[in-house]
Amino acid sequence: MEDEVHSMAVPGQIPWDIPTMTRRATDAREAEFAQLFDEFSAPIHNYVLRMVGDPDRAADITQDTFIKAYRKLDTVTEASSTRSWLYRIATNTAIDDMRRRRMVTPMGDDAPAFANRPDPRPGPEAQVMAATLDERVQRALMKLRPNHRQCLLLSDLDDMGAQQIGDVMGLSYAAVRTLLCRARGEMRRALSAEGFAR
Amino acid sequence: MTMNRHESFEELISASLTEELTETERQRLDAHLATCAQCTSTLAAFSDQRRIMAGVRHVGPPRDLGARVRTGIERGRFATLPWWRQPATIFAGVGGSLAAVAGALLAVVLLNGSPDEPQLGDASPTPTASITQEPSDGVTTLPPVQSSAPSAEPASAAPASAAPASAAPASAAPSPSIAPSPSVGPSASAAPAPTASPAEASPEPDVYLALTGPFDNLALTVRHGPTGETIAELDTPSGPPIAAELSPDGQWLAYITQLGQSGMNEIRVSRIATAPGDDSTIGVGDTVVLGESLAGSPFLEQMSWSSEGRYLAFTLADPDGGETDVWVFDTVNGEPRQLSDVGNAYAGDWIPGGDGVTSRLWVSLAQETPISYVLALRDDAPLGPAEPAEIGTNRADGVFQPLLSSDGGLAIFWQGRMARVGEEWLFSEDGAPYLAEHDITGATFAFSNERPLFSDLSPDGDAFASAAISWGTDGDAYAVWGTQWTGDSPDGETPYPDGGRVYFGHATDPRGLTQTHAIDASDLPDDARVVDLKVSPTGRHLVITALRPIGGAQEAPRADLLFIERNTGGVSDEVFTLGSADDGWFGPAAFDEAP
């Protein structure tokens, strides 16, 4: 046996009031999280919805995003990086969800569920006319590669600059500019197929 | 692939929409647009596109999202856990005495996490709480080194009976773990400690593997430590399991099995739980064989899960020549992939991160003077196989196989000269494990303030050829066993370091490891050899897989799984048997991190 004491049974005097400290820490954490949720739940949900194109899944992913965020709240060291951090959690959660559903392949287009549904409508023109602008844009988005879609949404929906998009996606500034250009080109073709001019 | 002249301007056009052009780029683009109809059209199209995107409907979250998140936070983490990970069931269905023990141990855990709790080495003049508390600046520091001479005067005189009033309710239950340690008493305990039922012996949550049954019809199961109940039945391997690591989310168990007498190991990972709604193709009980590898030193048998539970890192040694490379198993797609392609790479440890943080792994190259690199894994840029020197983001010269404490603030790594021995790399001169601080707050991942783990040894040309090392998840306790020391014993008589003994220490102990840090020799059965060891989350208990001597080639391998409660101050350790070698092969165990 060892000639030392490291028994947890003999901690000596505890100078701090642990329950009070714990409560204070918990209160501060709750307040920080409440603020985070108030500020970001709507934009994160909207972003995720556009990423996956399915309201039920978007709600689940947003829910999981904030549960994960709560658990990892103490890993955020700078307030300025909170937005990127949260979007990154949302993005990873959405990507994991898509992977599980086998919607993502490394290079090809994913296969959005609703885009593959049999369409009973008569033809492309009627289809275009009948669909709302929102549906057509979403359908175009779902034709993009996931990283193109992600990049385009962060830029044009969430108004992030290339630097912040890089923080979310783990890419350099230059890589984001290139990716975003390709995404715009791909989106241009997808919108054109949905009947948008140019 | 070459870029045509319009494509090069398209990138500028795209960046111009968010006003992210430099002045030079702006002038260049304007000059081009004045003469190019195609790019002017592209600018118009991209501008329209951005307007269209800005005009899409913003869909608000469901009204009950807040409640769902709250429910998930409050209860979801338990609701999504398998039965054996849920706190309520850990102690359910067992007698009052176990509940009392469990309650006491839980109290110990809480006390252990208190900011000012004196850790071991109370006699140390330096506050020892820096490892376990969360310092405001997030920096983990080591206490000053104490004299390396074996301590003749035990530091244990520490207040062994000053249990605080606040701990009284929890500690009132009779529990050997919290009994005040007598300050005197002979340490020798010739007879093995009495055994208890598995349930009483393992009040800390753990799982273990059990290979049982007739020799020609063995069955491998994963058992729940506190109750001994079966969690999952696995494919029967060709030999016994000798190492195991549970993923932080409790869903995957990685383990190494021996391939009979071939001198080869097989690395496997089995799914032992799933989260609700998870439609992964790998179900509970399913096993993925990750590869075969030469059996060898503990350096080869190092497996590590990333902190978010997604990746497992491991090393495979090629039987033809012994070339070693690092592989990673990705739980998302259920596939292993080779990370390094150099022939002398060994997996180290993951740097703790989390969601939204790039997964970073220490990978070490074995060579005369070893070197380690940090490799970053990204979803969008899969690595490997590659040369760590080309893709590493950080490097540490002279460092081999750093193993990190749970918060990443401390590391135990190897330094010294390495040499090729047979088909693997071992340390030859001045090789020894060191304890050091590891900078994760500044993301330099630099090691500093290193000190020899064994403070009362000077290699002086000798070396630890290898040894097995395991951290406790408290970030303080660690154990070393299977030491292969090339030198003589310091006093010329007592075998030290003894490859058959387990040395149990704490990072907060300024003395490091000394001869006195060996656990009681009587903790293990006669002639048994430690195959695997885990330090409990409280840093107080050890679970040891102890190989019993085999009588002959026809005899199935047998191992005891022992739960050891480390006692101090003159009281013998207490040993409980979780699984008896008389019934088969029990172990290795893996502690479940607190869900």
By Cβ distance, the residue of A67, A71, A187 closest to B49 is A187
Yes or no, beta carbons of B379 and A92 under 8 Å apart = yes
Report if residue B53 sits inside a domain.
no
Helices (H), B2-36: 5-17, 23-33
B292 touches chain A (CB under 8 A): no
pLDDT tens figures, B280-321: 678 888 899 999 999 999 999 999 999 888 899 999 999 888
User: In sequence order, which residues have a C-beta less than 8 Å from that of residue B132 and are 6 or more positions away?
Assistant: B112, B113, B117, B119, B474, B475, B476, B508
Yes or no, beta carbons of A99 and B14 under 8 Å apart = no
pLDDT tens figures, B154-210: 333 333 333 333 333 333 232 222 222 222 233 333 333 333 343 344 456 677 777
**What is the per-residue pLDDT for B124?**
30
- The upper half-sphere exposure of residue B444, i.e. CA atoms within 13 Å in the direction of its Cβ, equals 8
pLDDT band at A104 (very low <50, low <70, confident <90, very high): very low
> Does residue A66 surpass a pLDDT of 60?
yes
- For residue B480, give the nearest of B502, B458, B451 by alpha carbon: B502
Mutate to test the interface with A, among B64, B65, B333 (most CBs of A within 10 A): B65
- Going from the C-alpha of B227 to that of each of B84, B126, B222, the distances in angstroms are 9, 41, 12
Domain residue extents for chain A: 21-101, 109-198
pLDDT band at A126 (very low <50, low <70, confident <90, very high): very low
Across chain B, what does the average pLDDT equal?
76
Yes or no, beta carbons of A134 and B49 under 8 Å apart = no
Asked if B439 and B446 touch (Cβ cutoff 8 Å), the reply is yes
- Structure tokens that stand for B443 in this block: 């993301």
Phi, psi of B462 (to 5 degrees): -80, -175
Mean pLDDT of B68-81: 66
Work out the end-to-end distance of chain B between its first and last CA atoms, rounded to an integer number of angstroms: 50
**What is the per-residue pLDDT for B356?**
62
Report if residue B436 sits inside a domain.
yes
A94 or B469: which leads in pLDDT: B469
Work out the end-to-end distance of chain A between its first and last CA atoms, rounded to an integer number of angstroms: 81
What type of residue is B269? V
**What is the per-residue pLDDT for B383?**
58
B68 touches chain A (CB under 8 A): yes
**What is the per-residue pLDDT for B249?**
83
User: In sequence order, which residues have a C-beta less than 8 Å from that of residue B488 and are 6 or more positions away?
Assistant: B462
pLDDT above 70 covers what percent of chain B?
73
User: What range defines the domain where residue B508 resides?
Assistant: 198-591
- Structure tokens that stand for B573 in this block: 């350790």
Q: Which residues pair with B268 in a beta bridge?
A: B255, B289
pLDDT tens figures, B383-403: 568 888 888 889 999 999 999
- State ipTM: 0.75
Q: Hey, what CATH topology would domain A21-101 get? A: Rna Polymerase Sigma Factor; Chain: A (1.10.1740)
Distance between A148 CA and the closest CA of chain B, angstroms: 11
**What is the per-residue pLDDT for B578?**
86
**What is the per-residue pLDDT for A25?**
57
Q: How many residue pairs bridge chain A and chain B with CB atoms within 8 Å of each other?
A: 253
Which residue is listed with tokens 């409280």?
B538
pLDDT band at B129 (very low <50, low <70, confident <90, very high): very low
B465 or B175: which leads in pLDDT: B465
User: Which of A59-68, B124-133, B336-345, B409-418 is predicted with the least confidence, judged by mean pLDDT?
Assistant: B124-133
**Residue B203, domain CATH:** 2.130.10.10
A114 or B483: which leads in pLDDT: B483
> Does residue B151 surpass a pLDDT of 60?
no
Which of chain B's residues have a Cβ under 8 Å away from the Cβ of A72? 354-356
> Does residue B104 surpass a pLDDT of 50?
no
Helix (H, G, I), strand (E, B) or coil at B291: strand
Select the highest-mean-pLDDT range: A1-5, B86-90, B224-228, B271-275. B271-275
**CA angle centred on B352, ends B349 and B355, rounded to 5°:** 130
**What is the per-residue pLDDT for B134?**
34
- For residue A154, give the nearest of A71, A72, A69, A47 by alpha carbon: A47
A128 or B382: which leads in pLDDT: B382
Which of chain B's residues have a Cβ under 8 Å away from the Cβ of A88? 355-356
Which of chain A's residues have a Cβ under 8 Å away from the Cβ of B177? 7-9
**What is the per-residue pLDDT for B285?**
83
User: Total structural domains in chain B?
Assistant: 1
Question: Domain A109-198 carries which CATH code?
Answer: 1.10.10.10
CA distance B471 to B450: 17
> Does residue A8 surpass a pLDDT of 70?
no
**The pTM of the whole model exceeds 0.90:** no
SS3 of B480-536: EEEEEECCCCCCCCCCCCCCCCEEEEECCCCCCECHHHECCHHHCCCCCEEEEEEEC
Mean pLDDT of A166-177: 90
B488 or B542: which leads in pLDDT: B542
CA distance B531 to B548: 10
Yes or no, beta carbons of B48 and A198 under 8 Å apart = yes
Mean pLDDT of B512-530: 91
Mean pLDDT of B560-583: 86
Report if residue B280 sits inside a domain.
yes
Yes or no, beta carbons of A11 and B163 under 8 Å apart = yes
CA distance A196 to A180: 20
The pairing of beta strand B359-365 with beta strand B304-305? unpaired
User: Which of A65-74, A84-93, B424-433 is predicted with the least confidence, judged by mean pLDDT?
Assistant: A65-74
CA distance B419 to A88: 44
55-84 in chain A: CB under 8 A from chain B:
55, 59, 62-64, 66-72, 74-75, 77
pLDDT tens figures, B36-64: 999 999 999 999 999 888 888 888 888 88
